[in-house]
Structure 1
Amino acid sequence: MKKVIMSKTAALIASLMIISMLVPVLAFAAPKFENVTITSNGTVTGQVYVTDDVYTPGMKVPVYVYASDNMTPVGGVVYGIYTANGHYSFTTTVPSVSYDTYYFMHYGSVTEKVYYTPFNGGGGGGFPGTGNSNYDDLFKDGKDATITADSDTVSIPADKLVDGNSLTIKNADGTSITLPIAALKLADQAKSLGVELKDLVIRVELKKLSGDAAKAVTDAVYEIGAETLAAPVDFKIVAVGNGKEQQINDLGTYFKRTLPVTGSVYSDNTVGVVYNPDTKELNFVPATFATENGITIATLNRTSTSIYTVIQTDAASFKDLAVHWSKKEVEALAGKLVVNGTGDNMFSPNRNITRAEFAALIVRALGLDATGTSSDFTDVTAGQWYSGAVATAAEAGIITGYVDGTFKPNATVSRSEMSAMISRALKYAGKDINLSATEVAAALAKFSDAGTLGWAKSYVATAVSEGLIKGQSANKLAGNSLATRAEAAAIVYRFLGNVGFIN
């Protein structure tokens, strides 16, 4: 669609706008409203996104505001200034009246509903998309609440959240997000934005991608020979106040989001993934699947907001695993994008695995971004393939290194070291296990070489008690033996099932 060419005369501009309002479907691409907020003084700000580049930068574009009672107009037409990239912004005010809903219209087409409620005894507050204009009783039935949204954007006053543990926001199609409220650090967000808590708003977005953004995800799925089973959704949490906003990305704790899944689901090859728009890559996300009333819902568990979808990969099969004891575990993890082969359809199960390789494997299994930067190990330098993963593992408390400040990334990991890392991963995943001396002894009682475990004794006992590691024989743990790729895959597979990250 070609851009509308601005005339040099005001009359022609007016004519074009009148015509466009009469025939919006013919003249303009369907718009959508984004980031609509209403402050305590009734100031409304927002953006309109137009899928086709149909305006000339600098052109004034109208937005209409109506109240809920039979579409009563309030405030008249508002003009936004088109900038570039399909966006234009607008600002208006709404009266502090008793309307509970405002409709924002663009060229005669209703595209957004914003629910209005007064708060703090005066002024207006807009909380889009929940169909609920009163949050005072949000946690009246307990510390964990659920609200149903009829929009992909929901804004909630922060002071209405402080009494709860979690809030789940869900849409009718099964898309949802569960906010761990303490992890939002609301007081810190308010301080950072220079407002009091009562003037802070938390905006939550569950937006299905469309256009080029959706195509980019689909292209990444096709690139690895997989099939998309769920529409990609961009989940965001944004703190808004004082005319500013800041996105809350990593909450430092796992929280859930759900996506409705289409098609058949095969547990080993159905994968929750996160899409990285910078690298154009897909990575494994801890996910479980359940079917209710004929609809399959994927529950994805991760510490960060981002773009998520569900895919179906091809069944993995490696030539050198045909009769190997680790076939089930390795091929399941390969189908989940957690492990890779070594080339030529081989896995090399009996090859040893390095400390850096196992740290990277755990980071991948936890669904973390291998982008850490705070590693203090003297022998881990920037630019190595493992640098980000090792730093992330260190930040998560999975690895600690040696007393001399080194990590020895290229040294082969021992079974004891592997047990220590996976035991710390249990804690990071929310399963903090502290065995007593008696429990440690009981877990290791049948192994004649338990006395050789030294510093790793309690870690190995934890891994044994949780069923993550088994002896190399009926009565030998072989903690000092070097671990193989097959053993590493098996322990990670058992870990994911143990903490409920796969089913």
Structure 2
Amino acid sequence: YLATLGTGAQVFTVEMSAGTNPTLTVTISDTTPQNSTVTPTTAVFDKYAQASGYADVTAMITPRGNTLSDVTLGGTSIGSTNYSYDSTSHVLTLKKEYLATLGTRAQVFTVEMSAGTNPTLTVTISDTTPRTAPNLTATAGNRMVVLSWDTVTGATYYNVYMSEIPGVFIDTALATVTEATYQVQNLNNGTAYYFLVKAGNTGGLNVQSNEVNATPATTPAAPTNLIAVAGNGSATITFNVPSNNGGSSVIGYEVYDANKNLVGTGNSSPITVSGLKNGTTYSFTVKARNAVGESESSAPSNAVTPREPINNDDGGSTPNQPAMPASQQPASTEVVVLVNGKVENAGTAATAEVNGQQVTTIIVDEGKLQKRLDEEGTGAVITIPVSTKSQVLIGELNGRMVKNMENQQAVVEIRTEKATYTLPAGQVNIDALSKQFGTNLNLQDIKVKIEIAEPQAATVRVVEAAANQGGFSLVVPPLNFRVTAGYGERTEEISNFNIYVKRTVAIPEGVDPNRITTGVVVEADGTVRHVPTKIVMIEGKYYAEINSLTNSTYTIVWHPLEFKDIEKHWAKDAVNNMGSRMVVTGTGDELFSPDRDITRAEFAAIIVRGLGLRLETSGGSFTDVKQADWYSSAIQTAYKYGLITGYEDGSFRPNDKITREQAMLIVSKAMKLTGLSEKIAEQSASHVLGEFSDAGNVANWSLNGVADSISAGIIAGRSANSLAPKAYITRAEVATMMQRLLQKSSLINE
């Protein structure tokens, strides 16, 4: 009863039957101990060491006069090393290293106090540690790879990594996804790619998956340039291999007739189809096959009609054998020549070894060729296709054939798998050439040879050394282009032309066309010079189209260059382009000094380099240009090609600054050399220059040249209505002029 009463003095009256009632005072107190508390009473812990939840668990104890004696779990002490208690701040800490050893569930810890009811702290333990992504697989497709992997418990995202080198990956992920699959797009067919995946969540990334690789591929391109030659109940089809194998090696070819019947197979060109009916006309298509599948059909071949053998006068017979490509022909084997794409069996192939190299010569039959030329008329293109693997490939015509081709403005092409050499017959200048051999000779006795050749090892070493010294990379192996004429025991080389002559060099598969700078000539002494070059695509394959006025050893290079002081300059692109092409040079320390004026000698050197002209070594054209001067060769070359004339006193004044009108006059002469002047509409100088308020300041001697440069869009005014002809021209303006001259002449890419 007393325990139900309040604390304090309680006065009880003892009621008696008579008299004064006595009292009893009972002082009540309550010495029951106070219960301690823990705040908070719950917490969470993540066993994944990289997660934010992987941390010590802390709680505040309110002792209420009690003291901490221990912390227990399931009635057993967790040990004093697994927790700590600050008696001043009353903070209890459960250590993360200990918590990580416990199971993943709600763990109820009892905080043992000296008196009162012991409070509890419930810690819910989880483990979000991602598991290694298992079973990563890669499936290749056309320019893509599809990646798939098993989902990972606890993972909220996946990082995908890609490399072209096994075992080597950068830290930056290719992609971050939430699904267990990813499609990698825009890859290069034929290139092996390596992949791995890392699973992650809010705590970060875990270990990587297994590494896989895949090589994207598709079906190959179709074969091209089919040529069919009839035999006895058969036909032999030669063709060019696909320009693109789809990223997977071609494993065979299938030949179909016009009714799409499979009539033959083979592993390479040529393929002979037998079992044909003599007297029946056939045409054929070819498909290439790789591991992915078969290509589209090629364009149809020419139509052919197999026939019986033709009887000889001696009673025997000679089979009408098909012509085989030169790579498989014995000496003096008939081959085809194309005239405007039409097949003519007008060539004879012979292969021999010369100086350790296989040399295949295609000798063109004059009578057969002339008959076809007469049918085709003016401007015919004679193509000599050579599919042999010989290192030296030669097309041979006699002088009379060349003269007739010149009269009919014909062009001859030597076409190989690596390059095509396109030569207008008039550039041989057979009349002048014959005079070098003598008088009263027969033109048919002169043998003109047009040659594409792999250089000898010594020349290759010169090219490689030049690349190393010049700081550029070779994109294709070097090739020699050569034209010679022989009469008896004498041989003359035709090394200079009056117009730009085209050479088309195949870019190897897998080479990025954006990582090609220009074509260069490498002379025998290792001297390197730029030649105007642009990248073109022909039947789905990239080629470098080189135009030059001379023959020599050519190669294609990658030579990126950026000057530090033109990053924000208006002429940045032109300067870097011309610098990369080795047309303009810097002023030192990777600087270009774009706004500096330029001298007449410097301008002559740039115009010569830009046009790809071979330097002349002779001197004496100007009184103030000595052969020892650095600019002597450039000035002599510019003089030879009619680009400069100098002053009336016989001087050139090389160190004088060049004015805008002087530069424009020289550029107008260069336009005649590149053929650009023939493409611009004729307008009077007064009409062209009428928009400029200072047109009257243009000297009479430069008037037409200035007008031509303006009309062609090679140079503009200093402002909307000011030409500033007497002002000095800057280095940036010169680089821009050169780029525009070459672009508008279709010698380099826009």
TM-score (norm 2): 0.49
Deviation per CA, 1:343-386, whole angstroms, max 9, x where unpaired?
11100111110001101110111110121525521111211111
SS at match of 1:350: coil
What amino acid does structure 2 have at the position aligned with 1:459?
Answer: G
Determine the structure 1 residue equivalent to 2:518: 271
**1:193 Cα deviation after fit:** 2.2
Q: Distance in 1 between matches of 2:619 and 2:443?
A: 32
- Written as runs of structure 1 = structure 2, the 5 A alignment for 1:484-503 is 484-503=730-749
1:446 to 682, 685, 691: 691
1:141 aligns with 2:376: yes
Contact 2:476 2:557 (8 Å CA) reproduced: yes
Determine the structure 2 residue equivalent to 1:20: none
Deviation per CA, 1:158-214, whole angstroms, max 9, x where unpaired?
212222224333334141112222221212323322432011110111001252322
Q: Distance in 2 between matches of 1:409 and 1:220?
A: 29
1:161 aligns with 2:405: no
Contact 1:450 1:457 (8 Å CA) reproduced: no
1:191 aligns with 2:425: no
What amino acid does structure 2 have at the position aligned with 1:294?
Answer: G
What amino acid does structure 2 have at the position aligned with 1:458?
Answer: N
What amino acid does structure 1 have at the position aligned with 2:537?
Answer: T
SS at match of 2:513: coil
Q: Distance in 2 between matches of 1:459 and 1:465?
A: 10
Once the two structures are overlaid, the 10-residue window that deviates more, 171-180 or 426-435, is 426-435
Determine the structure 1 residue equivalent to 2:24: none
Q: Distance in 1 between matches of 2:727 and 2:402?
A: 51
Determine the structure 2 residue equivalent to 1:215: 461
Q: Distance in 2 between matches of 1:424 and 1:302?
A: 17
Counting aligned pairs with the same residue, the percent is 30
**1:457 Cα deviation after fit:** 2.0
Once the two structures are overlaid, the 10-residue window that deviates more, 176-185 or 431-440, is 431-440
1:408 aligns with 2:653: yes
1:463 aligns with 2:697: no
Q: Distance in 1 between matches of 2:535 and 2:615?
A: 25
2:674 to 420, 429, 441: 429
Q: Distance in 2 between matches of 1:171 and 1:445?
A: 49
Deviation per CA, 1:124-174, whole angstroms, max 9, x where unpaired?
x98753385443335242433222134512221121222222433333414
SS at match of 1:204: strand
Deviation per CA, 1:86-116, whole angstroms, max 9, x where unpaired?
xxxxxxxxxxxx9999x9xxxxx99984558
**1:328 Cα deviation after fit:** 1.0
Q: Distance in 2 between matches of 1:298 and 1:475?
A: 40
Contact 2:474 2:555 (8 Å CA) reproduced: yes
Contact 2:349 2:363 (8 Å CA) reproduced: no
What amino acid does structure 2 have at the position aligned with 1:470?
Answer: A
- Written as runs of structure 1 = structure 2, the 5 A alignment for 1:378-417 is 378-417=623-662
- Written as runs of structure 1 = structure 2, the 5 A alignment for 1:289-304 is 289-304=535-550
What amino acid does structure 1 have at the position aligned with 2:583?
Answer: V
Contact 1:375 1:390 (8 Å CA) reproduced: no
Determine the structure 2 residue equivalent to 1:338: 583
Contact 2:334 2:349 (8 Å CA) reproduced: yes
Q: Distance in 2 between matches of 1:112 and 1:411?
A: 64
Determine the structure 2 residue equivalent to 1:226: 472
SS at match of 1:137: helix
Determine the structure 1 residue equivalent to 2:362: 130
Q: Distance in 2 between matches of 1:272 and 1:490?
A: 20
Q: Distance in 1 between matches of 2:742 and 2:663?
A: 15
Determine the structure 2 residue equivalent to 1:258: 504
SS at match of 1:331: helix
Determine the structure 1 residue equivalent to 2:132: none
Higher relative contact order (CA 8 A, sep 6+): 1
Determine the structure 2 residue equivalent to 1:26: none
- Shift in alpha-carbon separation, 1:166–1:136, aligned structure 2, 3 A: closer
Contact 2:453 2:481 (8 Å CA) reproduced: yes
Determine the structure 1 residue equivalent to 2:426: 182
TM-score (norm 1): 0.72
**1:396 Cα deviation after fit:** 0.8
Unaligned runs of 5+ in 1: 1-97, 104-108, 118-124
1:361 to 603, 606, 622: 606
Unaligned runs of 5+ in 2: 1-317, 336-347, 351-359
Contact 2:395 2:414 (8 Å CA) reproduced: no
**1:221 Cα deviation after fit:** 1.7
Larger Rg: 2
Contact 1:126 1:155 (8 Å CA) reproduced: no
SS at match of 1:129: strand
Q: Distance in 2 between matches of 1:312 and 1:150?
A: 28
SS at match of 2:742: helix
Q: Distance in 2 between matches of 1:410 and 1:484?
A: 15
SS at match of 2:435: helix
- Shift in alpha-carbon separation, 1:366–1:372, aligned structure 2, 3 A: farther
Q: Distance in 2 between matches of 1:385 and 1:410?
A: 12
The CA RMSD over aligned residues, in Å, is: 3.0
Q: Distance in 1 between matches of 2:451 and 2:698?
A: 49
What amino acid does structure 2 have at the position aligned with 1:411?
Answer: D
SS at match of 1:130: strand
In the alignment of these two chains, the number of paired residues is: 392
